[in-house]
Structure 1
Amino acid sequence: MANTYTQIHIQAVFAVQNRQSLIKKEWKDELFKYITGIIQNHGHKVLQINGMPDHIHILFGMRPTQSLSDLMKQIKQDSSKWINNKEFVNDKFSWQAGFGAFSYAKSEVPNVINYIKNQEHYHKSITFQDEYLQLLKAFNIEFDERYILKSVQ
């Protein structure tokens, strides 16, 4: 689109189906590169990606050429298929329905990058569910408790 100028920074967060710890250290970097490729192929720019065995965080600059929901659907669909084709897990891999998305000013981007880089450190003292609830509350996002990610029993 000619004469369209934007600065949109989004942190997307989503979990493995049933919050299972299926993302293994042996292949997570390859997964993150694959997801980065999906995002870049849609014209967006990945600023940071990292996660834990049960979820991931992606900070990216988003272009107004596609809806966020369509991009997230593509990321989850293509990466699930890729994981299954690579046979990284014994059963069928899938992502949990839904996602969290949070927007940031350019001045906040370095702190968000640092936060995502240091996921392992943060999760020594906080669960993913608590982290996710903190994000929702910090951004004043109304939510229904029935649909918040629950810990695996």
Structure 2
Amino acid sequence: MKIDYNNLYTHFILITKNRYPFIKEESRERIEKYITGIVNNTGSKLYAIYANPEHVHILVSRNPRISEVELLTKVADGSSQFIGKEKLCAGNFQWQESGSAFSVSKADVDKVCKYILNQPEHHKKVTFQEEYDKFVKFYQRTLKWE
């Protein structure tokens, strides 16, 4: 069946292997642009992205023909290859084998965009671990979907 209209906003968090701060400020914009291209190539729309040293936030309006898992896998695989090929970090860059996907209502898109784009200021006060724990608690996800 064809879907003409959709509201499939997802806030993804992708974490580097062992939360190592691989992503350097001088490479951040190149990585963000590359990830934006991957998302666009799936027919999805990227609203906001920010690549922190050990994690990336992405807000996407997802194409209904692709699942969250498929989209995040494409982003992780493609960006990992790009970072390695372009030598944008020291060592062997890898993402963790799992990421996170949180649904966002249309009414909250602007708020989540501002939150993502304000990451440098946010992380002056809150560590990534504190931030992540807050997300998990807010969404009350104690079950893992396999």
TM-score, scaled relative to structure 2: 0.93
Please provide the CA RMSD for this pair.
1.3
Residue aligning to 2:12: 12
Consecutive unaligned residues of structure 2, counting only runs of 5 or more, are: none
CA-to-aligned-CA distance 1:11-70 (integer Å, 9 cap, x gap): 000111111111011111010000000000000000000031111100010111111111
Residues 84 and 108 of structure 1: is their aligned pair in 2 closer, same or farther, counting only changes over 3 Å? same
Residue aligning to 1:65: 65
Q: By how many angstroms is 1:90 displaced?
A: 2.6
Size of the alignment, in residue pairs? 144
Residue aligning to 2:46: 46
Q: Give yes or no for contact 1:13–1:56 (8 Å, CA) kept in 2.
A: yes
Distance between the aligned counterparts of 2:24 and 2:143, measured in 1? 30
Residue aligning to 1:123: 123
User: What aligned pairs does 1:1-150 form with structure 2 within 5 A after superposition?
Assistant: 2-142=2-142
CA-to-aligned-CA distance 1:92-140 (integer Å, 9 cap, x gap): 1110111111111111111100000000111111111111110111111
Residues 102 and 85 of structure 1: is their aligned pair in 2 closer, same or farther, counting only changes over 3 Å? same
Distance between the aligned counterparts of 2:18 and 2:70, measured in 1? 22
Q: Give yes or no for contact 1:15–1:56 (8 Å, CA) kept in 2.
A: yes
Q: Equivalent pairs: percent with the same residue?
A: 34
Residue aligning to 1:150: none
TM-score, scaled relative to structure 1: 0.89
Deviating 4+ runs (over 6 angstroms)? none
Q: Give yes or no for contact 2:31–2:51 (8 Å, CA) kept in 1.
A: no
Distance between the aligned counterparts of 2:109 and 2:19, measured in 1? 27
